[in-house]
Homo-oligomer: A and B are copies of this chain.
């Protein structure tokens, strides 16, 4: 298809009692309501699922990953296929992560210099060099709808001095990336870093906004920090972000964290959690996560949850447990459908709660049942 615009965000309503807001993400593949949960399709597929299944669970934007696609199948293959949408035959908006997080989380040895990062491939140990320019160039070629700036994502904790230098470097990298960004119909999001340091979060946010992006992500969360620290990171970032751009909390997918993020004004979330949990036989339910391997489900002929997904409408815990215990791939597939639907349903319920100014009530009700 011919793309005609960049993804852009429209604010529809702010909730009365919190920073929660309802909005619309306008894309070349349709308009999608926010807050939204974005399933992760690292290697050009959301593990085990087809596009039809993603649509059926209410998925809008999906993620894919610059670093992983750069290695396999390689950018040239995808460019020859006329971009990632065509390669995957996916007729919906795609956001590509910049590869920054993967370099910092997957590579065993890395050497960060001003120019970029030298590191070893997690596949074969071969030496790779990724720069802000190369990350953007790859994303331009992938032709995703939303590209992400290449940033450094330090672990938790690091010294304030390290974080200060890292924030400055990430800002320089953001400028360099923006400079070479050439895909006119691809939005480019900046990433706010700064760790748990309030002044650095503020500085990173203001300076990133100064550079000017189509949306803003909050990075450096879910890297080992306590929950209250993460929530404060979100507060410290968002207060310094413009109201007319989308805000994306990277790598967050625990139900309670999605709710707390929305309360703080986050519009977009992504996480591998629902599919990863599924592969290991775990499912979200309104009462908390359950592990289907548990013997108590052996003769439990009820669905996972009160849920409208294909899995809950068709199969019992006993059957799902049987598939999981026997390592049958259909088990992980059926649990993936349910787990993704579970998180998307939370964002749907939150959107309704925003309309009715009842977000805190929704949170209380959710937590009444949900045991961590």
Instruction: Give the B-binding residues of A (Cβ under 8 A).
Output: 43-45, 47-50, 72-73, 77, 80-81, 87-89, 298-299, 301, 310, 314-316, 318-319, 321-323, 325-326, 328-330, 332-333
Contact = CB atoms under 8 A, between A and B. Distances in A.
A104 B87 CA distance: 45
A274 B362 CA distance: 48
B319 A44 contact: yes
Contacts of A47: 328-330
A301 B86 CA distance: 10
A326 B43 contact: yes
Among A72, A298, A328: residue with most chain B CB under 10 A: A328
A48 B326 contact: no
Contacts of A318: 73, 77, 81, 87
A73 B330 contact: no
A56 to B, nearest CB: 11
Given A89-B315, A89-B319, A325-B72, A80 B43 contact: no
Contacts of A301: 80-81
Nearest to A73: B322
Q: Which 7 A-B pairs have CB atoms at the shortest separation, nearest pair first?
A: A73-B322, A48-B329, A45-B330, A43-B326, A329-B329, A89-B314, A72-B326
Contacts of A321: 73
Contacts of A333: 48, 329, 333
A317 to B, nearest CB: 11
A45 B323 contact: yes
Contacts of A48: 48, 329-330, 333
Contact of A43 (B44, B314, B328): B328
11 contacts: A43-B322, A43-B326, A43-B328, A48-B48, A73-B318, A73-B321, A81-B301, A81-B316, A88-B319, A329-B332, A329-B333
Contact of A77 (B45, B50, B87, B298): B298
Nearest to A68: B326
Contacts of A43: 322-323, 326, 328
A299 B72 CA distance: 12
A325 B329 CA distance: 17
A80 B50 CA distance: 33
A301 to B, nearest CB: 6
A325 B326 CA distance: 24
